[in-house]
Structure 1
């Protein structure tokens, strides 16, 4: 991709609503990472994001498990017909997560699919709240009760959840099996929920130290920057990407880095 990518933070506290068709995105809990002041200790928790299909309407039967099939991709698409939760935060955020769901009119039993972007405790610490949901954690997909089904996810083979809605393999931060969720058609364009592929807006000088595979993560970051209009990072506020005219070649890799912008669009909760 040529040209500079500049970022603009989205203003407002969680929950942040990005309405869309066929999917809306709600950032239920905004992740954070704050130095604790004791050596290198950091107090942190991951962002939690809800993807809600516009066509989904709660009915008495919607709490019943979908008719799971025996084929992984079919079962995954069935699970994605209802509310989808991307990451769950750490176990210390249990009550905050339950409250955030309730504020959206949802109970844990309404969630039909939980996607864990990677296996760190601050991102999948509340999986136990969703025993009736299908789980896609990194590259592992299982149905309620622990029936694991193969999917064949890879960097060149994304998983289709619904119209334009995909799970991408975005390796690097936690190793080779990290994933991101791509949501098209919102009021601000394509939203990508990235786990810790991006820790936060303006993390250019820090993400490498936290990465298990910086080369793979750099590749994942460039792929996301080439597609996303909005990024929901693992430990900070969502931010927009603004693509500007091509800059001189001397900018080198900074053509793909985030540069903090001055404007802050308002997203209504």
Structure 2
């Protein structure tokens, strides 16, 4: 089993007519492999280092970096972790070596027995979600912007207006992940528990797009 520690909760809010303040959730997974998921903006390196230190983790102790997609608020500090293998969307690399994996065919990538990365395109066409088996919280899904925040379940315009390269796939993958997970860490809001009502609501939205 692995432990999921949300280092920083993501947020997003309009701060002007054509301006938004936003940053992504940044999460540490401790276990057989130490993994950091989504490394915030390029201005957040000290925040991440300080948060990791509180959990007795140094950058060289990180085995994998996973960026759920390639937007700038999710990859800003990947270079802190030069001993780690990097998964950015559908791309897997270490230094100048790239490893082919058929995410585009729907195949998951297993990091270890309690952590796997699954393709969940929609927000971008190469989005991924990290699924983690935990002792305390069951299956925790680190979804990036597949889910913006809890409120986007009842108000889908939140995620669609945040940008979606394929809204139909995004609706389907939102429902798929909710059916798999007990908790979700969304891209721009606090962790939330997946209830029966949430699953039913997402199935309804998915059905409307079929």
CA RMSD after TM alignment: 2.0
* Residues 1:173 and 2:123 aligned together: yes
Partner of 1:46: 24
User: Cα distance, 1:44 vs. partner?
Assistant: 0.6
| Counterparts of 1:241 and 1:165, CA distance in 2 | 19
| Counterparts of 1:218 and 1:188, CA distance in 2 | 24
* Residues 1:232 and 2:182 aligned together: no
Kept after mapping to 2: 8 A contact 1:155/1:168: no
Structure with the larger RCO, 1 or 2 (CA within 8 Å, 6+ apart): 1
User: Cα distance, 1:200 vs. partner?
Assistant: 0.5
Partner of 2:170: 217
Partner of 1:188: 137
Secondary structure of the structure 1 residue equivalent to 2:102: coil
The two structures have a TM-score, normalised by structure 1, of 0.70
Structure 1 stretches of 4+ with a deviation exceeding 4 A read none
The two structures have a TM-score, normalised by structure 2, of 0.89
Partner of 1:26: 5
Partner of 1:135: 86
State the aligned residue count: 201
- Of structures 1 and 2, the larger Rg is shown by 1
| Counterparts of 2:148 and 2:108, CA distance in 1 | 22
- Encode CA deviations 1:217-260: one digit per residue, 9 max, x unaligned: 1111011111111000000000001215x98xxx982599xxxx
User: Cα distance, 1:155 vs. partner?
Assistant: 5.6
Partner of 2:58: 107
Secondary structure of the structure 1 residue equivalent to 2:6: strand
| Counterparts of 2:90 and 2:206, CA distance in 1 | 31
Give the gaps of 5 or more residues in structure 1. Answer: 1-21, 54-80, 257-269
Partner of 2:160: 208
- Encode CA deviations 1:169-210: one digit per residue, 9 max, x unaligned: 000102x11000001133121100000000001112321122
- Encode CA deviations 1:140-174: one digit per residue, 9 max, x unaligned: 1111x221111222463111111142101000102
Gap change, CA 1:222 and 1:110, over 3 Å in 2:
same
**Which has a greater percent of strand?**
2
Kept after mapping to 1: 8 A contact 2:2/2:114: no
Map 1:83-94; keep pairs closer than 5 Å: 83-94=34-45
Kept after mapping to 1: 8 A contact 2:172/2:206: no
